[in-house]
Amino acid sequence: MANKFAIYGAMKINVLSLNGVFDTGLAAVLDAFATANELAVAQGLTSVAFDVSLVGLRREVRTNQGFTVSVLPAKERPPADWVIVPAIGERTPEPLTAALATPETQAAARFLRQWADDGALVAAACIGTFIAAESGVLDGETVTTTWWLAPFFRQRYPRVRLDDRRMLVRSGRVLTAGAALSHMDMALWLIRQASPSLAALTARYLIVDSRPSQSAYAMSDHLAHTDPLVQKFERWARDRLADGFSLDDAARAIGASKRTLTRRINDVLGKSPLSYFQDLRVERAVHLLRTSSDTVEMIATAVGYADGVALRNLLRRKLGRGVREIRSERAALLLTDVVD
């Protein structure tokens, strides 16, 4: 199931941070999205953005290395599109068992369950998968976790299907990642749902090429899914949103067969080339509705639809919102800028 939020507007992300949060994991997630936001602006992808908030059970948490981090109380935050659960710093079963039993962790699990029930998707990495499992949101799903705690995970959560051989697993409404540096794989996966080329560019900015042995392990999932052909298709599609879609033209332009293009797009993005092309049209239309005074007819022409009626129907079908509602969001954003 593809993530619609990355395509149709800023992906809203709550990062659930508890006392003892793993410093490297938290920093990897925050740095990945901050870098992606900066690069998106530099590349002109102004409709691709990640709205990231640190949330917790108090206003400050202490990281595993003793640093103090300010967070927003979870009870004050509305549901996000995604809730990310980074690891905590307990690495062996006995102290981890104690940490999972604390009132803070149990309260966090309840918030996570409620957010999931309200429609949020859940991503957890490394030992953060244990917190997600405590909430019950992983029950019945196939997941991965940090490899050295796999036996303990299986014993503690028998209703969860564990495949600890994999770095990253998407199942239903949850995304799980393996050990420590897989936090970066997880963040890049989320960025890739908005823009494969942006994810690749973000990875290039964050990977140090002189340390290939580290990057080979830290980035294994991203490297497995980084696909120049998919990136070429995205660039081709973004330049031709006003034109009619042709799989023949797309395949010819990027130098691949239609079958290869379709298979590779589906492997990376979980959808057909036409479906992704339509998503990009909707993304551009929403961006123009929020940032310009163009008429609906003008915007429809700019994104390749015959008339405003077709665009209105598409937006209602895809987003559950109409033009008036989308433009009211623009007014709310402008008001927020003035207040800030």
Q: Which position has the higher pLDDT, 16 or 217?
A: 16
Report the C-alpha gap between 108 and 106 in whole angstroms.
Answer: 5
pLDDT tens string 109-161: 999 999 999 999 999 999 999 999 999 999 999 999 988 888 899 999 999 99
Report the pLDDT value the prediction gives residue 110, as an integer from 0 to 100.
Answer: 95
Contact by Cβ (8 Å): 135, 48: no
Torsion from C-alpha of 99, 102, 106, 111, nearest 10 degrees: -90
Distance CA 224, CA 189 (A): 11
Number of Cβ within a 10 Å radius of residue 264: 18
**Which 3 state secondary structure label does DSSP give 63?**
coil
304, 281 contact by CB (below 8 A): yes
pLDDT exceeding 90 applies to what percent of the chain? 58
Question: What's the average model confidence in pLDDT over 288-310?
Answer: 90
The listed range with the strongest mean pLDDT (130-139, 155-164, 300-309, 310-319) is 130-139
- pLDDT higher than threshold 50 for residue 333: no
Contact 22, 89 (CB under 8 A): yes
Exposed e or buried b per residue across 8-19, where buried means at least 16 C-beta atoms within 10 angstroms of its C-beta: bbbbbbbbbbbb
List of residues 6+ apart from 303 with CB closer than 8 A: 241, 242, 281, 282, 284, 285, 288, 311
| Centroid of chain to Cα 280 | 16
The residue that leads in pLDDT, 230 or 79, is 230
Q: Mean pLDDT lowest for which of 59-63, 134-138, 184-188, 327-331?
A: 327-331
pLDDT of residue 329: 66
Instruction: For the chain, state the CA radius of gyration.
Output: 21
Q: Residue 252 and residue 41: Cα distance in Å, rounded?
A: 29
In Å, what is the CA distance from 81 to each residue of 4, 10, 53, 84?
Answer: 9, 9, 12, 10
Per-residue DSSP letters for 167-180?
SEEEETTEEEE-ST
Is the Cβ–Cβ distance between 86 and 22 less than 8 Å?
A: yes
Torsion of CA 91, 54, 156, 190, to 10 degrees: -100
Q: Which of 209, 153, 156, 199 is nearest to 178 (CA)?
A: 153
Higher pLDDT, 207 or 111: 111
First CA to last CA distance, the chain: 36
For 215-279, give the secondary structure using H, E and C. Answer: HHHHCHHHHHHCCHHHHHHHHHHHCCCCCCCCHHHHHHHHCCCHHHHHHHHHHHHCCCHHHHHHH
Domain residue ranges of the chain, discontinuous segments joined by +: 4-224, 228-336
Tokens representing 92? 């062996």
Which segment of 105-109, 111-115, 215-219, 319-323 scores lowest on mean pLDDT? 215-219
Superfamily of domain 228-336: Homeodomain-like (1.10.10.60)
**What are the pLDDT digits (tens) for 157-186?**
999 999 887 888 999 999 999 888 889 989
pLDDT, position 29: 96
Residues 80-93: pLDDT tens digits? Answer: 999 999 999 998 89
Adjacent-strand bridge partners of 72:
55
pLDDT band at 237 (very low <50, low <70, confident <90, very high): very high
- Entry pTM: 0.76
Residue at token pair 């973004």 = 238
What residue type is 59 in one-letter code? R
Mean of per-residue pLDDT scores for the chain? 86
Q: How many helices (H) and strands (E) does the chain have?
A: 17, 11
Structure tokens at 292: 């310009």
Of 24-28, 46-50, 330-334, where does the model show the most confidence? 24-28
CATH tag, 4-224: 3.40.50.880
